[in-house]
Every structure is written in structure tokens, then in C-alpha cells.
Structure 1
Amino acid sequence: MSFVWLASYPKSGNTWMRLMLQSLMQGGEPVDLSRPITPGLPLRSRDTLGRLLGADCGELSAEEIDRLRPWTYIKAAGLLPGPSFHKTHERWRRTAWNEPILPPEASCGAVYILRDPRDIALSLAHYTAVTVDEAIAVMADADHTLAEAGDRYCVLYRQPLGTWSQHVLSWLEDADPPPLVLRYEDMIDDPLAALTGVCAHIGLTAPAAALRAATRSCAFDVLRRAEQDHGFTEAVPGRAFFRRGLAGGWRDTLSPAQRQRIEDDHRAVMSRFGYLPPSR
């Protein structure tokens, strides 16, 4: 079969949607946060590449891994019993050999989750233990990359993000297959409609009762309590992953100067998706 890519800039609601989908696959039952959300091959690691190649990949450079990654996904997709949901924070891009890093041959759909960058700055600062000003700078850094700890011996693949604006546009203008665009703010307003829309986009049929149960099982306050009681495998130790689950929290937290910096950095894309009035 193949993969459904759940893509977003970090701290945009990707994990929340994955949990709703996982709950839906379980008929709407709560998800155990102490276990991995998506079981199976960890597609972002050198170990997986080595297992599929039958070779040690520890000394491959980032460029060599980029060359192999499309093949990795095609090979892994052939081992799947059905569609598999996988998150990515990487911007959509091509390798130096002009191949899509996430090949359409291994993909049966994509969803891009979009969030107001003013709220992302606050959530990112909390989650990565940096200042809000540092988070704002990261979101404006065209060279920002995850897992960039040297080309060799890093467990995870290098994942270029670019700026928040570059990230959004890479998925919305270049990605193949084109994704469903889902705003985090709309997920908060109507999670049932958001989940139903995702299922329709990827061709997943589910009973209405299961859809309703999945959104109830993954309500933000339910997830927050579950994390407090049992922990969460994807959380940074000592910091809550499910913190507030609000839209517009920037209004009473960002300083005027911080807000202005974000808006100046990303005005065109923010205007395009309703976070600012249209540019004149």
C-alpha cells in the first residue's frame, strides 16, 4: 500500500490529528499515550534505511541519505498491509537529483495542517525551552533544519524546514500529491468536521459514531489529563506536550514588537490564509 503524509511546521496540531486518526482506527477508543502513535517502521531514521538496505548506514553523508530516501519510502510502502499515517515536519522538496524526497509512488494522500505563526512562536518557545524572540528568529531562518547534528552518525535524517512561510508554500504549491489544507484554528472550532474532511480527502470510510467517538476521545482536555496521568512518548521530559490547545493566545502574550516581527516576516502568507487582512 502507501503512506498518507500528515505535514506541518512544528507545533501546528499534527500530533492532535494523528491521535484522532489513531483513535478512529480503534473505533473511537482512547489512544494509549504511553505507546507510539504510529507503530511500525520509524521512517525518519538511519536504522530503518539500514534494515531496508541490509547494510550499515552510519557513515553515509546527509546527501547520500537524501539520494536513498525516495527508494526507502517506495520499498517500505510495499511492505504495508494498508494505508499508513506518518507525520513529517520537513518542507516538501526535491533531492539534488530532482527526485521528490517523498515520492508520489509511495503516497496515497497528504494533509497539511496550518497554524497562525504568532501562536506557533509561543508554543515552540515553550516546547524547545527557548525565548519567544529566539523562536521568532528560528521561524524566519531560511536554513533552519531539524536533526542537523552533523552529516554522519546522526540517528535521524536531516529535515530542512526553512522559514515558516517557505514551509507552507513548499507544501501548498509544490507537493505531489497536493495536500488537503487544514487550519489548526478550524480544528479547534469543529474537530469533527476536520476529521471528517481528512477522511474524505484520503478515501477513508468510517461510521459517523466512530468519528464522533474519536473526537471525544481526543478532546484537548482529555489528552492533557491522559498525559498528566500516564505520560506521553513524544513529550520532552519535564515539559507538557498538551499545554493549552488555544487559538489566538498570542493576543495577550506577545509584545507589540514581537507581533510586528512575525507579521513583517510572514505577511504575504498570513494574509493569504486569513491571519492578516489582505495586503494592499
Structure 2
Amino acid sequence: MFIWLASYPKSGNTLVRSMLASYFFSKDGVYDFSLTKNINQFPIIALFENLGIDIKNEKEVIANYIRVQQSINKKESTQFLKTHSYLFNIENNAFTDLNNSLGVIYIVRDPRNVVTSLANHNSSFIDQAAETLINDWRFIGNLNSFHQANRTTVYRGTWASNYKSWKSFKSQGKYLLIKYEDLINKKEEVLLKMLKFIYRLNKKFFGINKVKFKNVIDSTSFERMKMLENELGFDENVIDPTTGKKKTFFNLGKKNNWKKLIDPKIKEKIENAFKEEMKELGYL
């Protein structure tokens, strides 16, 4: 069964994935980039290709989301899957179902800070990134790309629809909301909360490995992750189209402060578009 690690892009999903991979898939809790390979991304077009699905036919791809999940689902053990998709239902084709999903950890971030990270990641201007947050609902994959993630079309929804869609797990008691800001400022508290949630979903007695817990906290600091990227590179880097070089993934960290980085008009545009959700989350 899958526990989804879901979020809009550039909202802290990589950090959550790194922390959980360190705790569950290492002996000592010390993070290195290879551990994240234990938590795959969904969708990835190769999974559909392997089942003989016509990947050039996007309607057929959408119709087979659950079939693909069934093919990789190990019901006797818990798997984590990262996704930036919203919890869609497109022409009666659902993104997932409760036969495959154990629950979701949803990571949300103030959209005024998402916009600057997204602009850097996409090599776009901040006003273009704001348009993406507000109006764009899918990333169209390029089947000729060498990077698996870039080959896959992802129906991420807008920032608001992505956030709201995954709340449907809440009524089942299978939903945990994590705010990026707490992930940064209350890291130990958030990790403990996630571990308790995971153990509860698995109906297992919760006991913490204190050594691993401390090592996870220490080894997934922004400074260490950035150091690892500089020394070893990072598989999820994207290429800057203007320079042809890989862009830094771990870019600003706490220095990403919308109050200093975005134009007041863009700030107002984002706040007007997402007023209801931002108030609900305490961002306004």
C-alpha cells in the first residue's frame, strides 16, 4: 500500500522524502542522495511503457493510472510515493483509490515563496511563475527527453486545487498536513508527527529510534544538502536553457523571503487568487 508524499512543486517534498528515506531505509539515519531512490515519483511514464500502454495516447495513460499502481503495489508492505499531481478525476479516471492508498502526507508552502522557487527552477520570470501557480494545471512532458520526470505529463492543478484535492483523505482519517515553514523551523516536531502518523496507518506500535532520529535531523539540514549537491551533484537538477548547465536545486533555503524578493503587485495577485486557502492555512 502507498503512503503518498504529495505537494505542489517546490514546497518541501524533497526534504520530507529525504527525512523519511533516511529513517526507514538506512541503518543509522544518516542521509545521502542514494537513499531517496527508495521513494519513487509517480507518475513516471516508464511504468506505463513497461505495461505496454500507448504512452503517446494521453487519454489511455490517464485511464491506466490505477492499473499501473496495482502493478507496483506491495500490499504486504508500505511504500512511499512522491507526487506533484493533484488528486484528480479526469473523465471518470481517478488518480488513485483506497485499494492502493494507505494515506497521504501533504506538504504545503506559502505560495508567495513557492513562486520564487518555481521561477528559479523553471528559469522563468517571477510574474510568469505566478501565472503558472494561478492558472496552469499541468506540466506537459516531452517523450523524447532523457530525464524520466521530464518525459511525464503531470496534472498538478493550480496551487489551490492541488492543496484542496488531497484533503479528501481527511474524512478517512488518512491525511496529515505538514507546512513547509514548520518543516524548517520545527523540524524535530514535524518528523515525530510524521512517524506517528505512519505507524498509526500501519496499525503498529510506535517506538522511536533516538539515534536514527537525531541523525536524520542533523544530516538533512539545508547546509548539508547543499554541500552534498556541490560535491556529488543531484539527480533532480534541471538544465538552465540559457547556459546549458545544471541549475542549483538547493538554492536559497531560509533566504527565500517573499517580502524581499517579489514585487508588491505579484504579491497582491497571489493573495487575491488564493485568499480563501491562505487564510485557512494562516498565511494571511
What TM-score range do you get, normalising by the shorter chain?
0.7 to 0.9
Say if 2:119 is the partner of 1:119. no
Give the AA of the match of 1:23.
S
How far has the Cα of 1:5 moved from its partner?
A: 0.5
Partner of residue 219, structure 2: 217
Partner of residue 252, structure 2: 244
How far has the Cα of 1:14 moved from its partner?
A: 0.2
- Alignment of structure 1 residues 199-238 onto 2, 5 Å: 199-203=195-199, 205=206, 206-237=208-239, 238=246
Partner of residue 16, structure 1: 15
Bigger CA drift: 168-177 or 240-249?
Answer: 168-177
For structure 1, which runs of at least 5 residues remain unmatched after alignment? none
Say if 2:124 is the partner of 1:130. yes
Residues 123 and 179 of structure 1: is their aligned pair in 2 closer, same or farther, counting only changes over 3 Å?
same
How far has the Cα of 1:66 moved from its partner?
A: 1.2
Residues 81 and 222 of structure 1: is their aligned pair in 2 closer, same or farther, counting only changes over 3 Å?
farther
Q: Distance in 1 between matches of 2:221 and 2:170?
A: 30
Partner of residue 242, structure 2: none
How far has the Cα of 1:81 moved from its partner?
A: 6.3
Question: Is this contact kept in 1: 2:188–2:217, CA < 8 A?
Answer: yes
Question: Normalising by the residue count of structure 2, what TM-score does the alignment of the two structures yield?
Answer: 0.85
Secondary structure in structure 1 of the residue aligned to 2:249: coil
How far has the Cα of 1:123 moved from its partner?
A: 0.6
**Higher RCO by CA contacts (8 Å cutoff, separation 6 or greater):** 1
For structure 2, which runs of at least 5 residues remain unmatched after alignment? 240-245
Secondary structure in structure 2 of the residue aligned to 1:108: strand
Question: Is this contact kept in 2: 1:38–1:86, CA < 8 A?
Answer: no
Residues 36 and 235 of structure 1: is their aligned pair in 2 closer, same or farther, counting only changes over 3 Å?
farther
Partner of residue 88, structure 1: 83
Secondary structure in structure 2 of the residue aligned to 1:105: coil
Secondary structure in structure 2 of the residue aligned to 1:135: helix
How far has the Cα of 1:212 moved from its partner?
A: 1.7
Task: Show CA shifts across 1:191-234 (max 9, x none).
Answer: 11111111111117441221121111101111111111111111
Secondary structure in structure 2 of the residue aligned to 1:37: helix
Q: Distance in 1 between matches of 2:170 and 2:95?
A: 10
Task: Show CA shifts across 1:99-135 (max 9, x none).
Answer: 5312211112210001000000011111111000000
Partner of residue 192, structure 1: 188
Q: Distance in 2 between matches of 1:168 and 1:76?
A: 26
What is the CA RMSD across the aligned residues, in angstroms?
2.4
Partner of residue 144, structure 1: 137
Partner of residue 36, structure 2: 37
The structure with the largest helix share of the pair is: 2
Q: Distance in 2 between matches of 1:41 and 1:197?
A: 22
Q: Distance in 1 between matches of 2:12 and 2:271?
A: 21
Aligned length: 265
Partner of residue 280, structure 2: 272
Q: Distance in 2 between matches of 1:247 and 1:9?
A: 20
Question: Normalising by the residue count of structure 1, what TM-score does the alignment of the two structures yield?
Answer: 0.86
Question: Is this contact kept in 1: 2:4–2:105, CA < 8 A?
Answer: yes
Partner of residue 77, structure 1: 73
Partner of residue 47, structure 1: 46
